[in-house]
Amino acid sequence: MVAIVQEPHPPKPNGPRSRHEAAVLAERQRRARLKGERRRTEAARIWAEFGVAVERVDALRDIVATVVSASGEPDEAVVLRRLLDGAPSEGGPRELRRLLRAMPPLAAIPHIADLYAIGLPMVAGVGAQAALLAAAGSATPDGLASVDSDSPAWRLWRDVLLVRHGSVPMDPAGFTRAAPLAAVDDYLDNGGESVARHWSQREAAERVYLLARVDPHELTEADLLDLEWDDEIWRRRMIDAAPQPPPEDAPELTRLLYAVGAGDADALAQAAHMLPDEKAEMIGRVLDSPAHLDTWPEELVRDPGMWPALGQVWKPDAQAVPTDDHTSDFVSWCGLRDGYHMLLDLDDGAEEVFGLFERAPDPKVREEAVNMQVYLRFRFSAPTDSGVLSWGESRLRNLGRGNPTLAANLRWIAERKAASVNDREPVPNPYLELGVHHGAPAAEWQSAWRALRRKLRGNTGDLSDINLARDRLRDMETAGGLGQHRFFQVPLDQGFLLPQPRIPRCLVPEGTILTRRTPPLRDVDVERLRAVAADDLLTRMQ
């Protein structure tokens, strides 16, 4: 059993003994405070050259000790070592700057940030920037945007980080001029805008790439080939394509659209599956309503390159008649084309069709309708009927001047009127008699003649007509070609009524910017920029 010994007389709270002990404690505290003040005063005097507040000297000493320790050379930092030992010495800031600059930049940056936090004047111009570099992993867009610098390298690092956060660079021109290409792509993907003058100092290949990403219509054919941007190369070729079949290596869409221009309605349906939604929807409206022309998209109906295919799709409920809306040109073209095919079949009902368009507001339509109407009247009139020649001449002259083929037909009429009845050449154009277009190659009209001869076997009158036509064309070929002979020509403009196939411009997809080709910016790339920025800050430290 342990005995508990109590103090016989514990001190009273306000007794003499308690007061004595409190006085002793206060004196000790006073002496410690004075000692600390003397120490701080002495330290402040020793470290005064650094210019920090007295209460920050201890923190300064700790940072300097860390930097000196990191130098690793015992002969280095003589001044700073003396200061750390408590011995006054001049040149401390200069030596500290030298040590920091001798360190790897990214190793020095945290020390500069710490020195900035305690108010060291030497790092005032770079401290805020160093603090952000040191805390790059936790830097926020607001924090990054709140600091600027005269260091281009630091601004570039900051702006690249901002773009990675989905923000916009503070210096778009400098960013576009010097940032990694992948970072510029990030900026563009974020909805950023850039102009050519900002990337004028980049490598040629990068300038072309960025132009394709921003404003591709400025690219040349050579630029597109350098980029190997096949889609845009062929898109432009479709717009400027000559009326001839595309090469075999052309993309499927190009070949389909050319077939559309040649009048292939099936190709139109196939192309719809390869075109952008807007154009596919327009084609769908046509194919879904072949009899309702008034519902067809105006953009398609107004493009003459579409007419051959649309003419195959259109199934009117009755004979086409002139209209006064956006379909008028197409309807007139279809009417003239149908009448022309009737003319080639020697169907005298074609004259009635042409009569529907003889007062059309479009002079081209009016001229073709009247010219073919006159030809049919000549073709089915008696050779001795000079009155019909005067009628036809009057009709053609009323059309006005300017069309060279029309003028040639008027000369044909004048020469025929001047000749005696017995000296007049047959009226029919021999090409049209054989059902081929005026000026068709010999192989074509010869093949047509053979087909008609088989078809008309036993029909003496018609066989006589086609044989006469063959003989006239054969004589013409022997005499040197069409230039030596003059026939009444129909149509006036084959390019209008019988256009050579070409890709309809209304179906060519709109140009788009080049799809991004760079991979996402890598962390290692950002860290490299951070190291360059750190190095530049060190050189700018006062």
Whether 223 and 233 have beta carbons less than 8 Å apart is answered as no
- pLDDT of the residue at 522: 93
468: nearest Cα among 437, 435, 426:
426
pLDDT-based confidence at residue 6 (cuts at 50, 70, 90): low
* Mean pLDDT across 150-154: 94
pLDDT digits (tens, 9 = 90+) for 247-265: 888 899 999 999 999 999 9
508: nearest Cα among 232, 217, 235, 216:
235
pLDDT digits (tens, 9 = 90+) for 273-332: 999 999 999 999 999 999 999 899 999 999 999 999 999 999 987 766 667 778 889 999
- pLDDT of the residue at 430: 95
pLDDT-based confidence at residue 30 (cuts at 50, 70, 90): low
Whether 391 and 377 have beta carbons less than 8 Å apart is answered as yes
pLDDT digits (tens, 9 = 90+) for 364-418: 999 999 999 999 999 988 878 889 999 999 999 998 777 899 999 999 999 999 9
- pLDDT of the residue at 177: 92
290: nearest Cα among 270, 259, 311:
311
175: nearest Cα among 218, 192, 127, 191:
192
Cα–Cα distance for residue pair 58/44, rounded to 1 Å: 9
At 441, phi and psi to the nearest 5? -60, 155
- 474 to each of 422, 431, 446, 467, 478, how far by Cα in Å? 22, 11, 9, 10, 6
- 542 to each of 98, 104, 133, how far by Cα in Å? 11, 18, 18
Cα–Cα distance for residue pair 63/115, rounded to 1 Å: 7
Whether 504 and 260 have beta carbons less than 8 Å apart is answered as yes
- 533 to each of 67, 126, 134, 185, 540, how far by Cα in Å? 20, 11, 11, 21, 11
Whether 458 and 380 have beta carbons less than 8 Å apart is answered as no
pTM of the model: 0.72
Contact partners, residue 300, CB within 8 Å, separation at least 6: 282, 283, 286, 306, 310, 504, 506, 507
pLDDT of 7 > 60? The answer is no
Cα–Cα distance for residue pair 402/434, rounded to 1 Å: 30
Please count the other Cβ atoms lying within 10 Å of the Cβ belonging to residue 296: 23
At 17, phi and psi to the nearest 5? -65, -45
- 22 to each of 27, 122, 354, how far by Cα in Å? 9, 47, 129
Give the length of the chain: 542
Of the ranges 93-97, 159-163, 361-365, which one carries the lowest mean pLDDT score?
361-365
pLDDT digits (tens, 9 = 90+) for 486-527: 899 999 999 999 989 999 999 999 999 999 999 999 999 999
Cα–Cα distance for residue pair 191/186, rounded to 1 Å: 9
In the chain the first and final C-alpha atoms are separated, in Å, by: 76
- pLDDT of the residue at 410: 94
- pLDDT of the residue at 89: 87
pLDDT of 421 > 90? The answer is no
- pLDDT of the residue at 77: 85
Cα–Cα distance for residue pair 503/245, rounded to 1 Å: 10
Of the ranges 54-68, 200-214, 484-498, which one carries the lowest mean pLDDT score?
484-498
- pLDDT of the residue at 74: 64
Q: Name the maximum alpha-carbon separation found in the chain.
A: 169
Helices (H) and strands (E) in the chain, counts: 28, 0
Tokens 């009737």, located at residue: 342
pLDDT digits (tens, 9 = 90+) for 335-355: 999 999 999 998 888 989 999
